[in-house]
Amino acid sequence: MSLTGLFLILFLVVHLIGNLQLLSNDEGKAFNIYTDFMSHNPVIQLIAKGNYFFILLHAIMGILLAVKNKNAKGSKYAVSPNNKTSWASNNMALLGTLIFAFLLMHMGHFWFQFKWGSGLPMVNYDGVEMINAYAKVTTVMSQPIWMVAYLIGLLVLAFHLWHGFASAFQSLGLRHKKYTPIIEGLGKAYSILVPLGFAILPLYIFFTQS
């Protein structure tokens, strides 16, 4: 759980940095060249396969764990304790399942289209023909329902990581008087800033395109 989770955390940073190129003022040239590179480089493709595998592994293990833990509890208390544990930590499997649903939608919008879609918008830079991923992204994000769906997905992700980031370190036994508070702080910052960074994209596109 913790190792796959940490891998996904690293992946998200790279994914965000790449996607921030959507903001550059060049009608998507930088972003398109980047996506073209990402989808043709064999090393990147291998990492991408690993990424799909880790997401599935993480999701399957998470669900199995949640089922096993629910059984280990058996019955619930009539009065729910109002102790100081976070809501996110008590709802990781629910949040994870929502993220999974979000990922299916996200893959359907882009990955599936790029792989198997027809009538994709194309673009030509200096004689090189490539998919106009930028056009695809802007068409999706300028529709209010998808824009809102992405924002909700990112909010769910933020909650999952609010607990998940520091939890992964504790699960691995990495706990230290001095460093653990720093890791916890980093985790909170990450869980707010990274989803926020992603959220800027649909918002920006939505309000500049329509």
- Pattern 78-107, binding to ligand HEM, x per CB under 6 A? --------------xx--xx-xx--x----
How far apart CA 48 and CA 127 sit, in angstroms, is: 27
Region near another protein per CB under 8 A, out of 39-47, 51-59, 73-81, 187-195: 73-81
For residue 12 the two structure tokens come to 């998200």
Does 174 interact with another protein (rule: CB under 8 A)? yes
Does 160 interact with ligand HEM (rule: CB under 6 A)? yes
Does 81 interact with another protein (rule: CB under 8 A)? yes
Min CB(113)–ligand HEM separation in Å: 20
Residue 169: count other Cβ atoms within 10 Å of its Cβ: 19
Min CB(44)–ligand HEM separation in Å: 18
Does 19 interact with ligand HEM (rule: CB under 6 A)? no
Region near ligand HEM per CB under 6 A, out of 34-42, 57-65, 122-130, 198-206: 57-65
- Contacts of residue 164, defined as CB under 8 A and 6 or more positions apart, other chains included, come to 5, 9, 92, 187, 191
Nearer to ligand HEM, 57 or 130 (CB): 57
Does 92 interact with another protein (rule: CB under 8 A)? yes
Nearer to another protein, 76 or 115 (CB): 76
Min CB(76)–another protein separation in Å: 7
**Can you tell me which residue has the tokens 């096993």?**
68
Q: Find residue 130's DSSP bridge partners.
A: 123
Select the residue interacting with ligand HEM from 34, 150, 165, 206 (CB under 6 A): 165
Which stretches of the chain bind another protein, using CB under 8 A? Answer: 65, 68-69, 71-86, 89-90, 92, 163, 166-167, 170-175
